[in-house]
Structure 1
Amino acid sequence: MSSNESELKDGINLLSKEIPIDEPQGGLNGVIRLAGSIVHGDKLGRILGYPTANIAVETGSPSVIDGVYAGWLVLDDQYMPAAISLGINSTFDAIERRLEAHVLDRTDLSIYGRKVTVILGTHIRGMRKFPDVATLVARIEEDVCLARTWLQRNVHLSGQGSS
């Protein structure tokens, strides 16, 4: 295990004591990495103002609790802070489980077909169905703020500098 992975493991759920973040069932024990390729999605994130990279997860990836996470999308050894969604988007009556990463402060990424790794740093909340799009967008905004705060406090875990 690299020193960055060790520090990430030690820092998991650190922020949950400081701001309200749900603890996933059973907790997160260890660094969770999901690898896959970027594929085209439904473009709903872009329409809602939060474009996402949709990742087709490779077979054999670890089993992970559905929810919203703060973490990193890693491309060519570049760690990009992200708010990550794993699960079924039931607000839009989806039936397919998806992994999507909204890379913070980036709208210029053109990475379709590229292999990436997603690192889940901390669990923010579980997946749920929202009564309408406005409520969903308000919650996404809150999720992104929570993710940004956790990532800023834990930038040292990404290997991209110190806080």
Structure 2
Amino acid sequence: MIIVKDLEELKTVYNENKVHVTIGNFDGVHVGHREFLHQIKKDCIQDHAKFVIVTFVPHPLKILKAHSGFLINTYAERRELLASCGADYLLEIDFTRDFSTLTPEEFLTKHIFSFDGISKIYLGHDFAFGANKSGDFHVAKTFCEHKKTALMLQQEYKIKSSSVSSTEVRNAILAGDIPKANELLGRNYFLSGRVIKGEGRGKKIGYPTANLGYDKELIIPAKGVYITQVKIKDMIYNSVTNIGVNPTFNTGYEVHVESHLLDFTQDIYGEEIRVSFIKKLRDEKKFPSVNDLVEQITADAELAREYFKHE
């Protein structure tokens, strides 16, 4: 997948003649997104067209609502996930206050139809664009008819009669309902980052942990202990992960993501890792003593081992 700065590049740099385009935020690239994108890819193959995804950086909610700590994936992870759906090109539009004031027609003229080889445009069932979200399928349809471009509308994707959306994924993550989040994502929810220096308490009590330096723009699951798997380079290790503020030690309010890799003794300080979440074991708890904490961690690790034995 090639990242472009403007769709004009498709003609001037890459010599493309025919493309199919979709537009959206695609945060999390959940199972509904993936079904939609895979269908577009099939159409592209059938129509001998290239597949272009148009999206935004940062996410509009950050600019329009001043939201933070809500993204399911980093923008780099989103690129990776979109590439896996078969996109040939990705245009990441810089979303600013000025950009948000464009009318739907201005947006389509300046940022989409700057390339004249667009054969089809695909819109999600709930996608709105332009100032105050005034642009919808009907506005786009009128515009596309003038351009003699086909416009396709995605039907709402559901699982067991329930809607699938990035908002529903976020709600499940915040509630610690990892199985639901994973079902909506069609994959295991994960957090990535570099192993950073922590307090070293885990090592002192016999349970060393990898302290994850995660992007603070990301949403974090409810505080508690989770069965997880940690990917280091191309290797995957079973683990238990604690998310919380270490209340037994009264360390403050910063939320830490710390993974104990089962039966693992290597030093991975400074390594890039990916922590994939499977299910929650329990809520975070303040223990009366360090010995009580160690006893509980031992029990958590044993539950995780038992889980992986039956997988």
Query: Which TM class, normalised by the smaller chain length?
Result: 0.7 to 0.9
Q: 1:27 pairs with 152, 173, 177, which one?
A: 177
Deviating 4+ runs (over 4 angstroms): none
Residues 110-142 of structure 1: per-residue CA shift (max 9 Å, x gap): 222111100111100010100111111110110
Overall identity of the aligned pairs, in % = 31
Q: Which has the higher contact order (CA 8 A, sep 6+)?
A: 1
Checking the alignment, whether the CA contact within 8 Å between 2:177 and 2:279 is kept in structure 1 is no
Partner of 1:51: 208
User: Is 1:98 aligned with 2:256?
Assistant: yes
**C-alpha deviation, 1:62, in angstroms:** 3.0
- Structure 1 unmatched ranges of 5 or more: 3-23, 155-163
Q: Which amino acid aligns with 1:151?
A: F
State the number of aligned residues: 132
**C-alpha deviation, 1:26, in angstroms:** 6.3
Partner of 1:79: 236
Partner of 1:143: 300
Residues 43-98 of structure 1: per-residue CA shift (max 9 Å, x gap): 10011110111111124333311110111111112110011111110000011210
Query: SS of 2:281's equivalent?
Result: strand
Query: SS of 1:151's equivalent?
Result: helix
User: Is 1:128 aligned with 2:282?
Assistant: no
Partner of 1:62: 219
Checking the alignment, whether the CA contact within 8 Å between 1:86 and 1:99 is kept in structure 2 is yes
Checking the alignment, whether the CA contact within 8 Å between 1:34 and 1:62 is kept in structure 2 is no
Distance verdict in 2 for CA 1:26–1:105, change over 3 Å? closer
Checking the alignment, whether the CA contact within 8 Å between 1:32 and 1:62 is kept in structure 2 is no
Larger helix proportion of the pair:
2
RMSD: 1.8
Q: Which amino acid aligns with 1:27?
A: D
Structure showing greater radius of gyration is 2
* CA–CA distance in structure 2, aligned partners of residues 58 and 77 of structure 1: 22
TM-score (norm 2): 0.40
Q: Which amino acid aligns with 1:126?
A: D
Checking the alignment, whether the CA contact within 8 Å between 1:71 and 1:151 is kept in structure 2 is no
TM-score (norm 1): 0.75
